[in-house]
Chain A
Amino acid sequence: MLVILALVAYPAVYHLLTNSPVANLAVAVLPRMDSMVAVLYFALFAMSFDFISGYTGYLSFGHAAFYGTGAYVVILIANGKVPLLPPGTPFVVSLLIAAVLAALLAVVIGLVSFRLTGVYFAMITLGFAQVMYVFVRGWDYVASNPRDGPAVGSTHAEGFGIGIPFVDQLNLAIGSFTGDTVTLLGHELGTYTVSFYMVGLVVLLSYFAMQRVIHSPFGRVMIAIRENEERAEAIGYDTFRYKLGAFVMSAFFGGVAGALFAGFRRSVTPENTFYFLVTGDALLASIIGGFGTLAGPLYGHLFDHGVREFLSNRGQGGGLLPYLQETLSEGLLTTQLPGGISVQGFIQAALNGHASLYVGIVFVLVVLYVPSGILGTVRSRLGGKLSETLPARVWGDR
């Protein structure tokens, strides 16, 4: 709950801090508003990955297939390339269609893949996702240059609205240029802020839905499968159906996340949707945040993204190097370090744009020493809830 409040307050806090005396520092350290939108929808994808992988123990290494399906379907509908669906289909409707298609895809992949376990399951799902990746990269129906991926064209120039379908007044559009702005109590909220809240709303609803499943008897069977599948089967559960059910649900929300991504960014590439490293990012977020804790991936991804942006190469709108350039003296930046490289050169060479290195090191340390992740550890220190303390114990002593 605190987290939700903190996130709700974030735009205001960001606005205040970046206009305050510590603005320089705030701009450097805090993720920008548009990044926060990305954090939200990608965190939802990471949660959906964790929903199947962290709770049932089946590593869905091809999860990007669902994210990609969600994203591509939304753009294809908007471009009038999906039969029977006009480009003007309300975003909420096309989002649901995209998610349902992702879920149907999961039925197909799941029927085949759940005959396997462990490493083999991870590999076959990866195989399916790669087939789709190669396919969309080569299929010129989806985009004139399929390698670069499709973008929303002129058939859908207006922003994608989130709200009640077919009632314009009850929709707010998302996107950096196409999004709506809202004037509230004399403050104008920019497109990013509006997008942040609207995307956040969908993410929140999805989170509650998944949370509900986890705490239901169905969720307990999922955890039982992870703990000891044979025992769950011996008790009389048809584990195949539970696994498939969980997989389909996680694919649905993975599709929702992909749809939000496409709705906000309005253009996607095979690399940032179907590629296996997209699943890798979700994995990163889940592990750092806490495997088998539904909210953990949000923190994990916030951390990942925060570090990346802090060490980004762009040199504008925040980050380490611009901050140092503004605050440190020219003399210090050009000071020579041993080895004939200046301070600025060192930062440029070893830090900026190389966040993967530091995130990777943190990830390795987490896997080795904090297997329950940020959230899992915090919760078990506090003697947390059952579902959150289980993972560490279960995963620890198998």
Chain B
Amino acid sequence: MTVPLLLPELAAFALQTGFVDGLGQFLRPTNLVSVLVEGLAKSAIYVMIASGLTLIFGLMGVLNFAHGSLTMIGAYLAGVVMVVLVGSATGQWTRLAYFFGALVVVFAALSLLGGIMEVGLIRELYDRPPIYQILLTFGLTLVLEEVVRIVVQFYGLQPISEWQGALGTKPAFLATDQSLGPLSIRGLAVFEILLGVATVAAIWAFLTRTRYGLYIRAGSEDAEMAEALGIDVRRVFTVVFALGAGIAGVAGALLMWDPVWGASVPLAAETLLPAFVVVIIGGLGTFRGTVAGALVVGMADATTTWWFQNVVTWTWLPEMAVFLILVGMLVVKPQGLYGVEEVGGH
């Protein structure tokens, strides 16, 4: 069959599914801008849940399956702080200030947990094949999630559904849409973008502007050589693991406020899988790649979500798109956007 013969059928299919109408709508400036904003907001979330993962993998070659669980714990912890502090009378800006307080608490607590995990458990496994680190951290997810489930149930919360009490501590201007000329933009989306940019900038500055960041980048490339130059790579490992866990927690704190995610036990798996996708698309272990990967996945997610909401009825489209990008990437360029050539050699 030749292509021209197929064209009318394709056109018919396109008309039938409303594809042409949809495309016209999609290309309207207001829609494009709102998809762009949503895409950036999603990218910001993805970069936050994936950064810790990629830092840890880049330096230590450990694929931390417990990363999602750390995000989930961060979400609950931030929720606890907010629910305790915020009352119905609490002012909008005070709520925002408390949130930043919660971020500090969560970062400190999760860093501590990460440090303990590295020293107590992961350290035992560096001289074993990398598969064992996947196994160990996978086991940790079972333990961490079940502990959280026990605690959450004990306090009478539903572990499966999003924690509404914590969602309700948002200031009103983040919970509603803000109009900007002809545009209507979710307040939370803007907040997520700002926080995502701040996180990326902070990590970037830490890696490139501080002595410790230099050690981390050197150790990521050649841990043995770094050690021979007098760097205590073991201590750097602990610091990076703690840091990665802390960033995972901060991401969780943000998700605690987002009604699409929310604090719940399944949040662990829901964030772990996209985080994997993002770091692999970007190239495991490169921070620059993770930022790029998050942008790709975030934009694809926002675009397909828009199509699903406005044109087609395939509920699975956004989620499927994310994993298809992953598979496509691994088929075409397994080392990812910014990965080094040597794949899987870790």
Contact = CB atoms under 8 A, between A and B. Distances in A.
**Is there any pair of Cβ atoms, one from A and one from B, under 8 angstroms apart in the complex?**
yes
Interface of A: 57, 59, 112-113, 115-124, 126-128, 130-131, 134-135, 137-139, 276-277, 280, 283-284, 287, 349-350, 354, 356-357, 359-361, 363-364, 367-368, 371, 395-396, 398
A354 B331 CA distance: 40
A57 B153 contact: no
A134 B316 contact: yes
Please list the 8 inter-chain residue pairs (A to B) with the smallest Cβ-Cβ separation, ordered nearest first: A138-B316, A360-B142, A357-B146, A118-B344, A117-B344, A360-B143, A363-B139, A364-B139
B344 A119 contact: yes
Contact of A357 (B129, B135, B143, B277): B143
A385 to B, nearest CB: 23
Contact of B149 (A57, A137, A276, A354): A354
A398 B146 contact: no
B327 A131 contact: yes
Contact of A368 (B63, B124, B319, B345): B124
Question: In this complex, which of B140, B142, B280, B319 has the most chain A Cβ atoms within 10 angstroms of its Cβ?
Answer: B142
6 contacts: A59-B134, A121-B344, A131-B323, A356-B143, A367-B132, A368-B124
A291 B233 CA distance: 31
A113 B331 CA distance: 8
B334 A120 contact: yes
A58 to B, nearest CB: 9
Contacts of A123: 276, 280, 326, 330
Given A119-B344, A122-B134, A112 B331 contact: yes
Interface string B121-151: 1001100111110111011111101110110
A280 B138 contact: yes
Given A122-B131, A127-B277, A138-B315, 6 more contacts: A59-B134, A118-B345, A138-B316, A356-B143, A368-B124, A395-B132
Given A116-B334, A127-B326, A135-B316, A367 B136 contact: yes
Contacts of A276: 269, 273
A65 to B, nearest CB: 12
Nearest to B324: A131
B327 A128 contact: yes
A134 B147 CA distance: 28
A119 B316 contact: no
Interface string B314-346: 111101100110110011001000000001111
A93 B344 CA distance: 40
A134 B319 contact: yes
A287 B131 CA distance: 11
A359 B129 contact: no
Interface in B180-230: none
A106 to B, nearest CB: 15
A236 to B, nearest CB: 23
Contacts of B142: 284, 356-357, 359-360, 363
A265 to B, nearest CB: 23
Contacts of A116: 330, 334, 343-344
Contacts of B316: 134-135, 137-139
A341 to B, nearest CB: 9
A198 to B, nearest CB: 32
Contacts of B138: 280, 283, 363
Contacts of A139: 316
B153 A398 contact: no
A271 B134 CA distance: 22
A113 B326 CA distance: 12
Q: Which of A128, A130, A354 has the most CB of B within 10 A?
A: A130
B302 interface: no
A360 B140 contact: yes
A283 B134 CA distance: 11
A57 B128 CA distance: 13
B284 interface: yes
A126 B314 CA distance: 22
A395 B132 CA distance: 9
B129 A395 contact: yes
B121 A364 contact: yes
A214 B63 CA distance: 30
Contacts of A357: 142-143, 146-147, 150
A287 B269 CA distance: 21
A371 B128 contact: yes
A127 B323 contact: yes
Contacts of B153: 349
Contacts of A124: 326-327, 330, 334
A326 B344 CA distance: 55
Contacts of A277: 269
A284 B136 CA distance: 11
Contacts of B63: 119, 122
Interface-central residue, B141, B277, B327, by most chain A CB under 10 Å:
B327
Nearest to A59: B131
A30 B284 CA distance: 45
A135 B134 contact: no
Contact of B136 (A112, A121, A368): A368
Interface string B227-267: 00000000000000000000000000000000000000000
Contact of B150 (A118, A130, A349, A395): A349
Nearest to B314: A138
A233 to B, nearest CB: 15
